[in-house]
Amino acid sequence: MSRFRAAALALAAVFVPFAAGAAEQVNVYTYRETKLVQPLFDAFTKDTGIAVNVISASSGLEQRIKAEGADSPADVLLTVDIGRIDDAVAAGISQPINSAVIDEIVPAQFRDPNGQWAGISMRARVIYASKDRVKQEAITYEELADPKWKGKICIRSGQHIYNNALFAAYVAKYGEAKAEEWLRGLKANLAQKPSGGDRETARDVAAGKCDLGIGNTYYWALMLNDPDKKAWADATRVVLPTFEGGGTHVNLSGVVLAKHAPNKANAVKLIEWLVGEKAQQIYADANYEYPIRAGVPLNPIIAGYGKLKPDPLPIAKIAANRKAASTLVDKVGFDN
């Protein structure tokens, strides 16, 4: 049994073996569901001849790579949030990507100043507003604490990585004291205890339990194409909120080059390929995400939300305030 296969079994994760006799390969650990990223890997192999071995898991990949140490088969870690990226760097399992291609294509705010990670695609943290009960076209994040929304907002746990990133952005912009005040105001406006996921916030808006739900952009598109959940999307519309004087909070699907990557050259080829036009179009159409590469057409559903103006706050500053945001969530009893 190969070391890579043994690692996959130990993880109890999904493993997609490489083709027998492949001369070149790259080993990817990913938090993305295999069905979402396999089209990318298949296209990469077709273009380059480099086979992709995949381990997919919902948690624990940073710890696994760290435990494997210098013997780790991991070349690349694909993540679904800046929180995962930050955890990987903190675990000491990354190394600088050092790619002129990445530096040219990925805007500086969406990559690590020290080269330890880079964004591959974007998603925005937005509002699912009731079509029937919310006529307001523009909403700011600051406004979510306004008493006019009392009892009208649904949201998942404040400690979830998606909300943690949004709250960390607020801390980065305004400081901990103002962020605490805002979180208390937002908590006071909740219609119910934070629970479920982003889809469930749309469900609860559709059911009349709240008027505004907080969710990621791609979930709404997925619901629209799911016969069992289409009614939730039909009852809501996506509003792209902004910070006052800024833009819409975005998060990243990102990539880390593993510290002990045994196939480093191929890993860098894959990372660079992922920001190419073909891969970026797959991200847009298969995953309903915003391409990190300028000029790649959006999926029509995502384009229908309106023009996205990403907030200029560097993602690295959001990562730096994750712990403070988490502490404030507990301090105000947000999830109670």
Annotated binding site for Fe cation: 218-219
Task: Give the Cα separation of 244 and 313 in Å (integer).
Answer: 13
Question: CA-CA distance, 145 to 164, in Å (whole number)?
Answer: 16
CA distance 300 to 39: 20
The pair of three-digit structure tokens given for residue 301, joined into one six-digit string: 């559903």
Question: Any idea what DSSP says for residue 298?
Answer: P
Q: Which of 260, 259, 257, 277 is nearest to 269 (CA)?
A: 257
Task: Note the Cα 151 to chain centre separation in Å.
Answer: 28
- Answer for the pair 41, 91: CB distance below 8 angstroms, yes or no: no
Question: What residue numbers does the annotated binding site cover?
Answer: 218-219
**Alpha-carbon torsion (223, 226, 229, 230), positive or negative:** positive
